[in-house]
């Protein structure tokens, strides 16, 4: 069952591929730092710390996937993207993954680049692209925000899982005998179920925050609808 874990352990992917994705992760995090500095202000900076702490805490709670005999937990890409944006959100996920690997041994230290690429980069990017799309067509009501959070979280988990399949295709240390499609199907099926749990947690959290403090939801601030055209004053009426 180790190949079904999103936190890749040492030895599952060979060294050259792990080094390649370490470079990819480092480049992506550098870019996120540069872009995220534009977003950080007195409101977003403390929010980023709270989001990272919340994701770290919730990731410790596993929920069982009875049909697959495994358990899943929140990845947090969609949650971070909605609350603090894609750039700062990816950095929050990366910090959580580093702490988990170094302190709790959750995921191999040599595999950090792979795990950061899958969960912090791919998961957050896929979630935010879908968030940007859905918030243009769905009403910005609690129901619309909840649907957006649920769908984007579900997709982000599956995309992160497919990132692992691609990495295993490049440098998996166990020969699958040409059954990469079977691995992809298993990963997609299991993480689709995990994504349902992720979606429920994300939707509940985001809607709760939006009802109390909508100004703290980055997706509502950063993805504003196009403003209505200005009507010129006619006959003294503005």
Q: Dump pLDDT digits (tens) for 56-87.
A: 988 877 766 655 455 567 889 999 999 999 99
Domain count along the chain: 1
Q: Dump pLDDT digits (tens) for 4-56.
A: 446 888 888 999 999 999 999 999 999 999 999 888 887 888 899 999 999 99
| CATH code, domain carrying 193 | 1.10.1760.20
What is the pLDDT averaged over residues 134-147?
Answer: 92
Question: What pLDDT does residue 39 have?
Answer: 82
CA 171/CA 18 separation, integer angstroms: 8
Task: Say if CB 28 and CB 68 are below 8 A apart.
Answer: no
Asked if the structure places residue 188 within a domain, the reply is: yes
Q: Dump pLDDT digits (tens) for 204-224.
A: 999 999 999 998 899 988 665
Asked if the structure places residue 45 within a domain, the reply is: yes
Question: What pLDDT does residue 225 have?
Answer: 53
Q: Which residues pair with 65 in a beta bridge?
A: 70
Asked if the structure places residue 102 within a domain, the reply is: yes
Predicted TM-score of the model (pTM): 0.85
Share of the chain above pLDDT 90, in %: 55
Asked if the structure places residue 7 within a domain, the reply is: no
Task: Say if CB 25 and CB 91 are below 8 A apart.
Answer: no
Asked if the structure places residue 39 within a domain, the reply is: yes
Q: Dump pLDDT digits (tens) for 150-206.
A: 999 999 999 999 999 999 999 888 877 778 888 888 888 888 888 998 999 999 999
Quote the domain boundaries for residue 22: 15-221
Residue 172 phi, psi (nearest 5): -65, 140
Task: Say if CB 157 and CB 194 are below 8 A apart.
Answer: yes
Looking at beta carbons, which pairs linking 45-51 to residues 24 or more positions away fall under 8 Å? 47/83, 47/84, 47/216, 48/84, 48/88, 48/91, 48/92, 51/76, 51/79, 51/80, 51/83, 51/84, 51/89, 51/92
Asked if the structure places residue 147 within a domain, the reply is: yes
């Amino acid at each position: 069952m180790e190949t079904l874990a999103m936190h890749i352990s040492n030895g599952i992917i060979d060294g050259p591929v792990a080094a390649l994705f370490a470079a990819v992760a480092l480049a992506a995090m550098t870019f996120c730092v540069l872009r995220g500095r534009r977003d950080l202000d007195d409101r977003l900076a403390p929010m980023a710390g709270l989001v990272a702490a919340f994701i770290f805490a919730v990731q410790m709670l596993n929920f069982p996937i009875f049909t697959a005999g495994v358990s899943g937990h929140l990845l947090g890409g969609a949650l971070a993207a909605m609350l603090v944006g894609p750039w700062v959100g990816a950095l929050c996920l990366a910090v959580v993954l580093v702490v988990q690997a170094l302190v709790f041994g959750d995921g191999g230290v040599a595999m950090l680049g792979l795990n950061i690429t899958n969960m912090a980069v791919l998961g957050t990017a896929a979630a935010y692209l879908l968030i940007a799309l859905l918030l243009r067509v769905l009403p910005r009501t609690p129901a619309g925000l909840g649907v957006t959070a649920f769908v984007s979280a579900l997709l982000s988990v599956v995309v992160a899982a497919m990132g692992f399949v691609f990495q295993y295709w490049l440098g998996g240390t166990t020969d699958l005998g040409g059954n990469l499609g079977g691995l992809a199907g298993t990963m997609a099926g299991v993480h689709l179920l995990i994504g349902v749990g992720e979606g429920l947690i994300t939707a509940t959290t985001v809607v709760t925050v939006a009802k109390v403090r909508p100004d703290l939801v980055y997706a509502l601030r950063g993805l504003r609808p196009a403003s209505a055209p200005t009507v010129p004053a006619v006959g003294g009426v503005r």
